[in-house]
Amino acid sequence: MSIRRQVLGGYRRLLRASRQAFRDDAYALQQAHLTLRQNFIDNCQVTDKKQLDELVKGIDEAEGMLLHHIVQGRAKEANGNEAVRFEVKLTDPQRQAMRKDEEMTPLTEKSGSEPLVMNSGNYTVSKPMAGKTARKHATAAPSAKKRKTSITSSIPLIIQQKLSSDQVVNAHEIISQVDIHSATKARLLLTWLLYPVTPEEFYEKYWEQRPLAIKRNFASYYDGWFSKEEMDRILKTHTLEYGADLDLTKYVEGTRHTLNPSSTATAKQVWKHYDDGCSVRFLCPQKFSDNVWKLLATLEDEWGCMAGANSYLTPKSTQGFAPHFDDIEAFLLQTEGHKHWKVYEPLQDSDMLARYSSGNYKEEALDKPMLEVDLEQGDLLYFPRGFIHQARAHKDTHSLHLTVSTGQQNSLGNFLEVLLPQALETAINTNVELRRSLPRDYLEYMGVMHSDRIGDSERQAFTNRLKGALKVVLGEALSTLDAASDQMAKNFLVDRLPPALENEEENCTSDQSPLQKITVNTQLKLIRHSIARLVIEDGKAVVYHCRENSRMHHEVSISPLEFELDDAESIEFILSSYPDYFRVGDMPHEDPQDQIELAKALYKEGILMYQKS
């Protein structure tokens, strides 16, 4: 039996297994195939060029046949199981293999650009047209610069429900509640933010995956959070600097222009530019607005990550910014007016969940938007990192929206950036094999110019040695996961906002009662669930907290508290007691005076509150 025929049997079985394992993740499937292909070639240990050509040809045919069934099956699903035909750009062997099963003709895209509106339970949803979904799956293989996979699904991108007043909760009352777990309060606030979509549905179907527009036909839904009137008050009562606190921008003939004067901002000057067609962006409204601060500080307990905000005031019939994408998960609360939005898929795979924001795009360089929607007062729009977007205010009214952001530099990759350097350094210091010299002649067989030497024994020996070294580093990394987690927690505390306490809570802290007498019978508790973190650094028990953080990002440096290691158990007892009060005398310290001194130090720092008699 020829090598090609053997491959068509064995390799296709492996492909089918990988298809089943990654059937819901096209990108993971593609990466699995690339790895499978290389491993299969390596394991065959073929060195003869003719045999190698046969091997590759067999792999191409097997992949082509599998690709045919995947695309055909998904296109059928997208079109209600109707039979479809398609055309994709493949290598000749792949195309020949596919033609053995079916002659290919181009897929015809259905006409129309508006989303279909469907009734789903007690609210209305809109979803892309089936013909367009199928077309996404059947497009030609992209170039290296284009995305290899498209975000296509029957999941609706627009949710519509006309709310009545008895369905709307008062989010200001949620935030003002005391004697409720701060994580519970955060989940209630997110539920309000996304209603009628539940947090569970949102995280499963939309978070980091696709945009979502929620249309409520309830203009007062976001009343009281941020307004044009409040912007005017801030401009008149605070000193704001252009570039740091606000920007004036215009988008003219496909180009964004920032028109910040060199002077300090004044209300008169800002409104003059606004009347001349400039958009006004507040870069850190939480610095001046208590309501925005409370909103963000509460949601940080939901996301376990810093939350930020910008506000955008756009004159009617204008656009302030060019198409671009951001490095944050964005929740846009339309608080006033009306704005037309376009959201586009990431252009490249590397832009999906982007680590850094993009520059400005020309609109003519973009494909058709995946979501186009009119956002009215009381509506919400969400889109993940890397999704290009642009918007224009309605011709008859201005637009004001508040963008709540999170997820910046908080990925698994960021965690690895903390974990691996420390693990690598420790592995090198503790394992002599990692300190031995490289082979004197390794450059004679390693490198791109030698990469086609398949089956070379020296290359294989070098690769095996590196595999062993990586296993050592991996083992070290897995043993230090908790230490890396503590460092990420410390970074979060450095970034996050100070907690927004109610007067009732504030009165029981050192800010309002600095001379509160503490005894072994005093009842204390943490003011918030994630207000502080215990880490071990340089043989000390160190407590980091965000109580004294500024409402302006990194305006004030964090000041940790250092304790002896024998205090660590009692500190852990305090941090894990929330939301309950604890009795100072119940701390695991044997000496009552040590119990009192530790409690005093944390109370003085403002992270504990006492229980009134």
Neighbours of 261 (CB within 10 A): 12
Asked if 196 and 286 sit in the same domain, the reply is yes
Last residue of a domain, one of 346, 372, 406: 406
Last residue of a domain, one of 375, 406, 437: 406
Asked if 104 and 225 sit in the same domain, the reply is no
For residues 530 and 542, what is the distance between their CA atoms, to the nearest angstrom? Answer: 15
CATH code where residue 313 lies: 2.60.120.650
With beta carbons less than 8 A apart as the criterion, state whether 213 and 157 touch.
yes
Question: Using CA of residue 77, residue 79, residue 85, residue 90, what is the dihedral sign?
Answer: negative
Quickly list DSSP for 456-501.
-HHHHHHHHHHHHHHHHHHHHHHHTHHHHHHHHHHHHHHHSPPP--
Please compute the mean of the pLDDT values over residues 85-102 and round it to a whole number: 42
Question: Using CA of residue 141, residue 147, residue 149, residue 150, what is the dihedral sign?
Answer: negative
The answer to whether position 572 is within a domain reads: yes
The answer to whether position 140 is within a domain reads: no
Please compute the mean of the pLDDT values over residues 513-530 and round it to a whole number: 93
For residues 131 and 128, what is the distance between their CA atoms, to the nearest angstrom? Answer: 8
The answer to whether position 533 is within a domain reads: yes
Beta pairing partners, 280: 248, 313
Higher-scoring residue by pLDDT: 313, 6: 313
The answer to whether position 149 is within a domain reads: no
pLDDT at 223: 97
The answer to whether position 147 is within a domain reads: no
pLDDT digits (tens, 9 = 90+) for 447-481: 999 999 988 999 999 999 999 999 999 999 999 99
Please compute the mean of the pLDDT values over residues 478-500 and round it to a whole number: 96
Asked if 510 and 443 sit in the same domain, the reply is no
Asked if 231 and 352 sit in the same domain, the reply is yes
CATH code where residue 588 lies: 3.90.930.40
pLDDT digits (tens, 9 = 90+) for 109-160: 333 334 434 333 344 454 443 333 333 333 333 344 567 667 767 899 999 9
Asked if 318 and 434 sit in the same domain, the reply is no
pLDDT digits (tens, 9 = 90+) for 198-227: 999 999 999 999 999 999 999 999 999 999
The b/e string for 449-484 (b: 16+ C-beta within 10 A; e otherwise) is: eeeeeeebeebeebeeeeeebeebbeebbeebeeeb
Asked if 441 and 530 sit in the same domain, the reply is no
The answer to whether position 488 is within a domain reads: no
Asked if 299 and 213 sit in the same domain, the reply is yes
437 pLDDT higher than 70: yes
Q: Which amino acid is at 594?
A: D
436 pLDDT higher than 90: yes
Q: How confident is the model at residue 556 (pLDDT cuts 50, 70, 90)?
A: confident
Per DSSP, the three-state class of 265 is: strand
With beta carbons less than 8 A apart as the criterion, state whether 61 and 54 touch.
no
With beta carbons less than 8 A apart as the criterion, state whether 112 and 86 touch.
no
Please compute the mean of the pLDDT values over residues 549-571 and round it to a whole number: 90
The answer to whether position 177 is within a domain reads: yes
Asked if 537 and 504 sit in the same domain, the reply is yes
Pairing between strand 264-265 and 329-344?
unpaired
For residues 598 and 584, what is the distance between their CA atoms, to the nearest angstrom? Answer: 9
104 pLDDT higher than 80: no
Last residue of a domain, one of 363, 388, 406: 406
pTM of the model: 0.76
The answer to whether position 351 is within a domain reads: yes
pLDDT at 151: 74
Q: How far does Cα 375 stand from its chain's mean position?
A: 23
Q: How confident is the model at residue 555 (pLDDT cuts 50, 70, 90)?
A: confident
Asked if 444 and 401 sit in the same domain, the reply is no
Domain that holds residue 18: 3-111
pLDDT digits (tens, 9 = 90+) for 342-376: 999 999 999 999 999 999 999 999 999 999 999 99
Asked if 286 and 320 sit in the same domain, the reply is yes
Of the listed ranges 93-102, 313-322, 490-499, 521-530, the least confidently predicted one is 93-102
Please give the tally of structural domains in the chain. Answer: 4
> Counting Cβ atoms within 10 Å, is residue 384 exposed (0-12), middle (13-18) or buried (19+)?
buried
Asked if 166 and 70 sit in the same domain, the reply is no
Quickly list DSSP for 249-260.
EEEETTEEEE--
> Counting Cβ atoms within 10 Å, is residue 503 exposed (0-12), middle (13-18) or buried (19+)?
exposed
Asked if 192 and 84 sit in the same domain, the reply is no
